[in-house]
Copies of this chain bind each other. A is one copy, B any other.
Amino acid sequence: MRWSKYFIPTLREDPSEAEIISHKFLLRAGMIRKVSSGIYNFLPLGFKALKKIENVVRNEMNKAGALEILMPLVQPAELWKETERWDIYGKELLRFKDRKEHEFCLGPTHEEVVTDIVRRDIKSYKELPLILYQIAVKFRDEIRPRFGLMRAREFIMKDAYSFDANWEGLEKSYQLMYETYEKIFRNCGLRFKAVEAHTGAIGGDISHEFMVIAETGEDVLALCENCDYASNVELTPAISGEKYPLESEKPLEKVYTPGVKTAQEVAEFLGLPLSKITKTLIYIIDEKEPIAVCIRGDHEVNELKLEKLFKGKSFRMATEEEVERIVGAKPGFIGPKELKIKIIADKSLVGYPNFVIGANENEYHYVNANLGLSFEPDLIEDVRKACKGDLCPKCGNFLTFIRGIEVGHIFKLGIKYSEPMKALFLDKDGQMKPFIMGCYGIGVSRVLAATIEQNYDENGIIFPWQIAPFQVSIVYLKENFKEIAENLYQNLLKNWDVILDDRPERPGVKFKDIDLIGVPLQIIIGKTYEEKKQIEIKIRKTQERKCLALEKIEDFIKEFSNEI
């Protein structure tokens, strides 16, 4: 591609709407433009990057024997009512009526539609296993669309669905998709990790998330470097590796703590470590029953663990007013002693001597509280997020914590959809049975954002070679090098995605733009060519510069790409 014939509206300044790295660079590199909240245009460069990712995904899915189809975005309510998701699914499911007042939704996912396909046209176990997939537009009416492509409302997803005759079959399909996902993300040139995950709105028993490792990731992963344990921290049992000191219980003492509210403030005021302070949080279950959760000040509540404890009932944090009405004191001064509601204490408080609790009286705390002595919880449970210092639930080694961005998620669905939708096949034994299903998603447009979150520097994007929209750029610094540049361009085009920067711009502008859009190998025909007939190649990632004879360029690129 010649830059002069292309359309890459780069921006010098950081756009104010951009909250995170990938959003900023996607806008600045002229790859996307906002149409509405969470809705974007993909401009030519963004589209090209998207297609590269799509092709990696398609390639591996096809190799795995999955068959590509295309299902509609606009889906009739009837199908969603069969699984009751029409009522269960939250407001992310955008519902509307057509001109004839029939109910429809924009598909956020396609379990119902694909199950309908299979129940109509697959009759026998002989036709199984079957994996169908599509790469298509999805819509989720997110309450807070943000971070550009990271949490968009309209986005591109690859969703696949497996149908098997039995659970062993599902196990195989799941394993096949797991391995396919590993290949996909490897072939995208990304550092990633598969972790055990929560199944959420899609359902099923077991699921794995594929996480692109990035410091800016929203998710935290707990990994064991000793064994293969890896899970989303949401799911990690918190097993403390900390040995509490043997310390005799001191007498409980009420202390005046004016104006200090957060655990951190209390710790500073009392001159104690944060771990010695506890927080007592009030939740309201099912909009009626209040409940107190008491954990260490340096720990965080894991709401997914609460959800399991409350058996899926709805719950939320109490408002400040509710806390005052229930306890008689303001948030920040709440504690488990003499509290008239149900109390859950986190496991980590067991054996922990002489800690601080709120006094349920404004401006007061107790010091030297002890579980069982100062108060008696109704339940002692693991309700916190695992964190540094915790142990691997499999091997007992210390866990490592890193941040990641979810780009793929695979689920064992079993009969969650096939049973209510009566999607049945005739099995070997002559019985009609529901298909055993799995489903497998990749956020294709999200992979683009995650790629950037993992691969950038202050000058812009550093695209991995495998999915770079342009792998090689050519800049010539004098008009009389134009012909050499042209010939080289034509030559390299045969094997690679090349952009020839033929704009009538200053070299500085070109170099900046090329760095910004993340071209991995940058060829410059300038000073070194004039002086010693050598072409300069800059490696975007390492900033290394090589000087090579013209005829060595192709070999260099081949070698560079082979090493990746």
Inter-subunit contact B141/A98 (CB<8 Å): yes
CA distance A50 to B136 in the complex (A): 14
In the complex, whether A328 has a CB less than 8 A from a CB of chain B is no
Q: Is A396 an interface residue (CB 8 A)?
A: no
Interface assignment of A65: CB less than 8 Å from any CB of chain B: yes
- Binary CB contact string for chain A from 119 to 144 against chain B (1 if under 8 A, 0 otherwise): 01110000100101000110101010
- In the complex, the chain B residue whose C-beta lies closest to that of A116 is B35
Q: Do B76 and A73 touch across chains, with their CB atoms under 8 A apart?
A: no
In this complex, how many residues of chain A approach chain B with their Cβ under 8 Å: the count is: 55
Stretch from A40-48, A201-209, A235-243, A523-531 contacting the other chain: A40-48
CB-CB under 8 A for A43 and B117, given A35-B72, A91-B99: yes
Residues of B within 8 Å of A9, CB to CB, are: 120-122
The distance from the CB of A29 to the nearest CB of chain B, in whole angstroms, is: 12
* Chain B positions within 8 Å of A102 at CB level: 36-37
A501 interface residue (CB < 8 Å to B): no
* Contact A69 B47, beta carbon cutoff 8 Å: yes
For the complex, what is the distance from the CA of A5 to the CA of B128, rounded to whole Å? 9
Listed in ascending order, the chain A residues whose CB lies under 8 Å from chain B are 5-7, 9, 30, 33, 35-37, 39-44, 47-48, 50, 65, 67-76, 79, 91, 94, 96-99, 102, 104, 106, 113, 116-117, 120-122, 127, 130, 132, 136-137, 139, 141, 143, 153-154
Interface of A, helix, strand, loop or mixed by DSSP: mixed
Q: What's the least CB distance linking A91 to chain B, in Å?
A: 5
Q: Are B33 and A121 in contact (CB under 8 A)?
A: yes
Q: How far, in angstroms, from A47 to B143 measured CA to CA in the complex? A: 33
Check A70 against B42 for contact (C-beta < 8 Å). Answer: yes
The reply to whether B44 and A74 form a contact with Cβ atoms under 8 Å apart is no
In whole angstroms, how far apart are the Cα atoms of A71 and B47 in the complex? Answer: 10
The reply to whether A6 and B96 form a contact with Cβ atoms under 8 Å apart is: no
Residue in B68, B74, B120, B143 whose CB lies within 8 Å of A99:
B143
Q: Cβ of B33 and Cβ of A117 under 8 Å apart?
A: yes
Residue among B75, B130, B141 making CB contact with A35, cutoff 8 Å: B75
A453 to B43, CA, bound (A): 36
A116 to chain B, nearest CB (A): 7
Most B CB atoms within 10 A — which of A37, A70, A143?
A: A70
Nearest CB in chain B: distance from A231 CB, A: 32
Q: How far is the CA of A67 from the CA of B7 in the complex (A)?
A: 8
CA distance A47 to B91 in the complex (A): 31
A130 B69 Cβ-Cβ under 8 A: no
